[in-house]
Chains A and B, each alone.
Chain A
Amino acid sequence: MTDLKPAPAHAPPSATGPLAGLLVLDFGQAAVGPIAAEYLGMLGATVIKVESPRGDTVRHGKPTMKGTGTTFIGNNITKYGIVLDLKSPEGKAHAMRLIQHADVLIENFRSAEVMVRLGLGYEVIGDLNPNLIYVSASAYGRGGPLENMRSNEWLSEALSGFTSLSGVQNGAGEFSRGSANLDWNGAMLNTVVLLAALVRRGRGSGGGFFATSQLGSSIFAGITRFAEILDGGLAPVPLGSRHPALAPDEAFRTKNGYLAITTPTERSWLRLCHALGIPELAVDERFSSNAARLRARDALKEIIESSLSARTSTEWSHILGEAGVACGEFRTSASLLDTLHGNPQIEALGLVRRVPSRYGPVASQSPHWQFGETPAKIEKGPPLLGEHTALVLANLNSKQELLAVLGSAGKNERDNPGVAR
């Protein structure tokens, strides 16, 4: 950040992240709920993950670190962990006491009906704590024919249209074979909802019951592509690496790989022509506007690639980047960490880091925002199953007490991350 003044004297003295002092309960499993809670933890909230005795399902997936699924580990950084059997009267009583102190509760059961059946539906816990912000991040929303169907990344890809648009030009749609990006997209959207509800509450209102769906967030992710069909076009099809309405905007072959080049404006198009050493392109009738270039895409690609074949992707990305043309080298390493660490920009910004944890040093994103006054941070790793159960249950008298003891537990973990007390 440029030239920011130090935090003013009247800021809350304990403030680290902007949400310091808030208590968040994560009743979720797997991805869309837990990741949203993880983001609130990075923003400074105290987050308690509430698991069943068996633990979050993704604790049991592959691969593992020290026997626990890395999906669990990656999705639950910054949290404290307790185990409650919500089907037992005792577990439910503990949950109710905890909920009394909470600012936020997020769950991503298939349907909010699961919480109702547990006796923890909003009509109960909202009366218990009217300031509670409750988000049900369900699979398919409330009601309708799919209400009780299960969801995951790939079901979301199929049902949102994502798959139908991913693939080689005019070929069949493809599922993403890994990297559950729509799950993360859902978590991003849920986080916006949680924060908006917190803003509302901070301005004098109470809590509330907010319902999102994985289906809805996945469709919202496709907003630019839905624009085509909603404004009179046909259902769009896969275009390989091409943008539907912009040219050039695709992957071009270089001497040793592929380079993405995008020219959103006529100015950037002219810069590209000159940087490629083919200024005559800029006055070629066939390419005189974006619309013309879209029509003549194949011919244009051939010309650009014949020029690009003289140098490597890295060389071209320097040349085009210096010229002010948006470009990016396709990284082909099988390892994502190699890809990310091999990118000097990602390294310079420290966007990937190692977080010390009970499970060993876990590779993680850094917080994806920067704050001038209230830095977002990762201050602890993911919890062992039930690691803080006794501590939390012994300190349920007040929120302040609970936050204080968890704060010291977090400090202990920072001092000695590998060993659980």
Chain B
Amino acid sequence: MSLSILRGLRVLELADGVPGAVSGRSLAALGAEVTKVVGPAGDWLSALDPPGVAPGAMYRQLNQGKETLVLDLRDTDAQAKLHELVRDVDICIVGHRRATLAGLRITYDDLRSINPQLVYCHISGWGSDGPLGDRPASELTVQAAAGLTRFLGTPGAAPVRQGFDLVSVNTGLAAAQATLAALVWRDMSGVGQEVEVSMLATAVALQQWDIAAESGPDAWEGTELEATEWPPDHGFQCADACCLIDLRSNEESWPALLREIGCADLSTDPRFATKGMLELHKQELPSLTAEALSRWSFTDLERLVRERFEGTIVPVLDLAAVIAHPQVQHLGLVSHDQQLVQFPLEVVEIR
């Protein structure tokens, strides 16, 4: 599925790995014409095979909808060919390390002299300057350095990574943001420019909630300030599912719900008696209710929570269940024919 919002826009993507590919994939999904330039050895990502999966699965998923051009940019003929292409493109996304750009003749100055209207986006792991400037990075190393794993796993035990590659994917989205914003300005001013994003800056941005919470709060209270020390949160475990129960609009009903599921003692426990106390102690509920809930099927529990308490309850879905979910199918978030995760935008009306 490709939308037509960016029809006519031409993009060159010179990047291995995930972030550059996500930016190109997003722009392609929005209708841009994206050409991915890979070296003769190919993108390192195309060599990764999760055990039991067709080779290059991640590469295929991330590079759908692009033309591919193999160029060995160490070679001057290939450089000339690339420079010829640069004349007619709007955006160039570059994910190679700064130190290598001059040798490949793909610095901003190299390309601007060919096309002054070009928007040139450099993507790095740690930024271009500073003590780690231009060093190699990865999803996990940036998650580690930026503190993104601190709400997962058991406090003090081995770190647990985020289930999705959030830093890499969002760095790709950040690169798309920067290039499109620069393009808005270029279409007014006639002038291109160099823009830059990094995985580290993106990892910081993803934590704005926690950053603001620590600003100097009136009191040290709230999830963001306390939850690093809590045990892992697996949700509520009933007989046939792990699930999330949320009574947000009706929080004072927790004691009544606890009584209904067979935890009469907890329903009179002061820790869960008021909204204020619940905020401090709700994370204790899954383990305290585990025995009682083992006698509940998800279907029965769902009916109870929805109908009697007007709450929200959902099971923790694995990826197979996500793909099969009626809402996911209704929105076409994963395409049937191509088995691809779609850029999730519906253009309802354009003028």
Contacts and interface: CB of A to CB of B under 8 A. Distances in A.
6 contacts: A228-B57, A230-B341, A244-B50, A249-B140, A326-B125, A332-B156
Interface string A9-27: 0111001011100000000
Contacts of A7: 191
A218 B18 CA distance: 17
A238 B149 CA distance: 14
Given A3-B109, A227-B53, 19 more contacts: A71-B209, A75-B212, A163-B242, A166-B162, A167-B163, A178-B223, A181-B148, A195-B181, A202-B184, A211-B346, A213-B331, A220-B333, A228-B50, A228-B57, A253-B158, A331-B147, A331-B150, A349-B200, A363-B216
A179 B209 contact: yes
Interface stretch (B65-73, B228-236, B259-267): B228-236
A370 interface: yes
B140 A241 contact: yes
Contacts of A321: 132, 135
A65 B217 contact: yes
Interface string A232-271: 1111111111111110011101000011111011001000
Nearest to B180: A195
Contacts of A348: 129-131
Max chain A CB contacts within 10 Å: which of B53, B60, B197, B325?
A: B53
Interface string A263-291: 01100100000000000000000000011
Contacts of B246: 150, 152, 154-155
A327 to B, nearest CB: 6
Given A161-B319, A228-B50, A335 B169 contact: no
B130 A158 contact: no
A166 B152 contact: yes
Contacts of B127: 345, 349
Contacts of A239: 161
A163 B143 CA distance: 17
Interface stretch (A78-86, A94-102, A184-192, A408-416): A184-192
Nearest to B186: A18
Contact of A226 (B217, B233, B319): B319
B339 A231 contact: yes
Contacts of A1: 128, 194, 196
Contacts of B288: none
Interface residues of B, number: 164
Contacts of A335: 214
A364 B212 contact: yes
Interface in B1-30: 5-6, 8-9, 17-18, 22, 26-27, 30
A349 B134 CA distance: 13
Nearest to B62: A223
Nearest to A211: B346
B191 A365 contact: no
Interface in A121-161: 122, 126, 130-131, 140-146, 149-150, 152, 154-155, 158-161
Max chain A CB contacts within 10 Å: which of B45, B164, B204, B351?
A: B164
Nearest to A204: B187
A17 B210 CA distance: 26
B163 A166 contact: yes
Given A178-B210, A340-B204, A209 B349 contact: yes
A113 interface: no
Given A122-B349, A155-B244, A199-B180, A365 B205 contact: yes
A19 B184 contact: yes
A66 interface: yes
Interface stretch (A46-54, A169-177, A385-393, A396-404): A169-177
A369 B318 CA distance: 34
Contact of B144 (A207, A329, A344, A360): A329
A63 B217 contact: yes
B279 interface: yes
B6 A200 contact: yes
A390 to B, nearest CB: 27
Contacts of A336: 147, 150, 207, 210-211, 214
B294 interface: no
A268 B136 contact: yes
Contacts of B319: 161, 164-165, 222, 225-226, 228-229, 235-236
Nearest to B213: A70
Contacts of B145: 260, 328-329, 331, 343, 345
A71 B208 CA distance: 9
Contact of A241 (B108, B160, B320, B351): B160
Contact of A185 (B170, B213, B228): B170
Contacts of B345: 193, 210-212, 216
Contact of B317 (A159, A181, A226, A242): A159
